[in-house]
């Protein structure tokens, strides 16, 4: 298990460095300027999420909404979303700053998606094995996400299926499996995902 963790961490470091150097080095300042020109506020949004062993960490994203005090998931047609924000969310560009979280060791490229602290508390009370998904570092993408369970959680069945996929991933993790999930994520981004909003 320790060897597997070491291999996963090594992959995370090289992959996140490649994204940061070859993509974010030029894309980050461009997007931050566009974001700030459209609406006042920071270009980067941070929110406390549940990490490995349920340890909280600051999760980074490009800000896709107008600054507000509403602490709830984005919904389809959410009036808080800016025009550039809607584009970034459709293309998953808003998630790119999380590669810094990966480099810092707080996240992995692939793993269960990190939830807001209040959602972790809420879901842990009603879903068996929910806390088991925190055995690994949270990911930018995951097995649940490439199988259609990403974005807004509308009902109990959706979070139940996400947890099932997350537990399956934890129990069946392989390096080649991670690469397949990453490739499938790219394909979904290109094709478009109806849950990306």
- Return the DSSP state at 95: G
**Chain position carrying tokens 């909280």:** 56
Supply the pTM of this predicted model.
0.92
Give the tens place of pLDDT for each residue, 54-110.
Answer: 999 999 999 999 987 666 666 666 788 999 999 999 999 999 999 999 999 999 999
Contacts of 46 (CB under 8 A, 6+ apart): 58, 59, 60, 61
Q: Tell me the average pLDDT of the chain.
A: 91
What is the 3-class SS of 26-52, one letter each residue?
HHHHHHHHHHHHHCCCCCEEEEEEECH
Give the tens place of pLDDT for each residue, 146-168.
Answer: 998 887 777 888 899 999 999 99
Residue spans of the domains in the chain: they are 2-191
| pLDDT of 197 strictly over 50 | no
| pLDDT of 41 strictly over 80 | yes
């Amino acid at each position: 298990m320790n060897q597997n963790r070491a291999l996963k961490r090594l992959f995370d470091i090289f992959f996140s460095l490649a994204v940061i150097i070859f993509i974010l080095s030029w894309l980050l300042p461009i997007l931050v300027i566009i974001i700030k020109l459209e609406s006042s506020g920071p270009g980067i949004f941070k929110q406390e999420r549940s990490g490995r062993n349920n340890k909280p960490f600051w999760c980074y994203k490009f800000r896709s909404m107008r600054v507000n005090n509403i602490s709830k998931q984005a919904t389809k047609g959410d009036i808080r979303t800016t025009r550039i924000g809607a584009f970034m969310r459709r293309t998953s560009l808003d998630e790119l700053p999380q590669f810094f979280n990966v480099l810092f060791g707080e996240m992995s490229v692939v793993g269960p998606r990190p939830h807001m602290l209040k959602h972790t508390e809420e879901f842990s009370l009603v879903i068996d094995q929910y806390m088991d998904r925190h055995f690994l570092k949270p990911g930018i993408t995951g097995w649940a996400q490439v199988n259609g369970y990403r974005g807004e959680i509308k009902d109990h069945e959706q979070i139940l299926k996400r947890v099932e996929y997350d537990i399956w991933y934890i129990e069946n993790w392989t390096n080649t499996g991670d690469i397949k999930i990453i490739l499938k994520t790219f394909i979904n981004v290109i094709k478009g995902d109806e849950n990306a909003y």
